[in-house]
Amino acid sequence: MKIHILGICGTFMGSLAALAVKAGMQVTGQDQNVYPPMSTQLSSIGVGLIDGYDVTDIPDDVDLLIIGNVMKRGMPIIEYILNSKMPFTSGPEFLSRHILQNQHVLVVAGTHGKTTTTSMLAWILEYAGLHPGYLIGGVANNFSQSADLGAGKYFVIEGDEYDCAFFDKRSKFLHYKPQTLIVNNLEYDHADIFADLNAITTQFHHLLRILPSEGLLVYPDNDQNVQILLELGCWTNKQAFNLSKVEVPINIVGTHNIVNARAAIAAAANVGVSSNVATMALAEFKGVQRRMELKGESNSIKVYSDFAHHPTAIRTTIESLAGNRVIAIVDLCSNTMRAGIHKDVLVSATEQAAETFFYSKENLDWTKNLTNIFYDKDALAKQLLAKLRKGDVVLLMSNGAFASFCEQILHLIHKSTLTVDI
């Protein structure tokens, strides 16, 4: 089978391409602004990669087009595909039909913690010798890649609530048909596609409607929004978890990651992995890149990068560093943040930081009410340096391209002379 992927360089589509290659398919794809590391990764597994969306670059002998949600109506290539009646599908539907069939699928869903919990669960099953397939929306340090077919009957996948494509506005996770489902939490996010929390809850309710009665739902016992979800209807076995049950290894840092670990342990138990084995696996869990990732240390100052971009995640990430003098940098780059949806609680979410700097690449109307708001990274870095003391922890939180800024800050700290201790 020959497939051609439009929007192939995204994390999800790149991982899908890798799975398709391992399944014996011939894979090509197109995207804009093709550059490493994704271009290098795709080329290394034999994927023919084309820069740009020229209609003439669609292979003549393609069996199926997979269209990513970056593609929109009105784009010439999309109009050509529709007018030519070429066969197409979305990435999630392709996964369901060609990769997840005949697998026991374990889906990790929720507003926060999906990538970390998925990584934990996949690693627990791997450690236990079950050799699961997996697709993770990030780079888990226990694995050499973000997706693999595995060698067993289990497949662990991050269940994103975002929509599938311009022609399929259902949440991605509805295609995965889980037997084991984790719902870690439920809050309002993705303001670009969901009008309110009720709209998101409806998608999660649809997910519960397709969960088999012999399956398992793992959920927190203290999340009010999840309780409201359950009241809409649940027809499967349920297992609640909280912070007081099951020990987790001391290298799991932060209350939010302890919650993630509890959920992973409970889900693993549903496929026969004891809590003792799961705990031993987590003792060797190496974390996920950009999830409380230590980027470096200089002049006794540590610099961390984290994916947090929702007020709850921002708060819990800062709390995980309790005992340190935390200097927080919050990148206002998500669609929800840029829309100002969380503007009334954003400052309070950072109240446990000693200092907070906000960054936006554009001057948004609502950001004028923020103190320490910067629209220029160099100016932010200069002001940050003036506030730093030896022993501080700098925490950069962003779901965008902030990696180079981390390196810039580390370089400036290394060059500076800091003489004031905490």
59 and 135 together in one domain: no
State how beta strands 133-135 and 154-158 pair.
parallel
198 and 262 together in one domain: yes
Q: Domain end: 232, 263, 282, which one?
A: 282
Region 377-400 average pLDDT: 89
- The per-residue pLDDT of the chain, averaged, comes to 89
Model pLDDT for residues 72-119, shown as the tens digit of each residue: 999 999 999 999 999 999 999 999 999 999 999 999 999 888 989 999
Backbone angles phi, psi at 60, to 5 degrees: -70, -30
pLDDT at 422: 45
Model pLDDT for residues 346-373, shown as the tens digit of each residue: 888 889 899 999 998 888 888 877 888 9
Q: Within a domain: residue 298? A: yes
Check which CATH number belongs to the domain holding 320 and give it: 3.90.190.20
Q: Within a domain: residue 95? A: no
Check which CATH number belongs to the domain holding 39 and give it: 3.40.50.720
- Of residues 53 and 344, more confidence is placed in 53
Q: Within a domain: residue 46? A: yes
263 and 133 together in one domain: yes
Q: Which of 302, 316, 329, 349 is nearest to 400 (CA)?
A: 329
pLDDT at 270: 96
205 and 59 together in one domain: no
Q: Within a domain: residue 52? A: yes
d(C-alpha 200, C-alpha 178), whole Å: 18
Assess whether pLDDT exceeds 70 at residue 243. no
d(C-alpha 401, C-alpha 407), whole Å: 12
Residue position matching structure tokens 């060698």: 151
108 and 69 together in one domain: no
- Of residues 100 and 407, more confidence is placed in 100
| Total number of domains constituting the chain | 3
pLDDT at 187: 87
pLDDT at 320: 78
CA 409-290-143 angle, to 5 degrees, is 135
State how beta strands 393-397 and 301-306 pair.
parallel
Q: Within a domain: residue 278? A: yes
162 and 106 together in one domain: yes
Q: Domain end: 228, 260, 282, which one?
A: 282
Q: Within a domain: residue 422? A: no
Q: Within a domain: residue 288? A: no
86 and 108 together in one domain: no
265 and 203 together in one domain: yes
Task: Give the domain range for residue 227.
Answer: 100-282
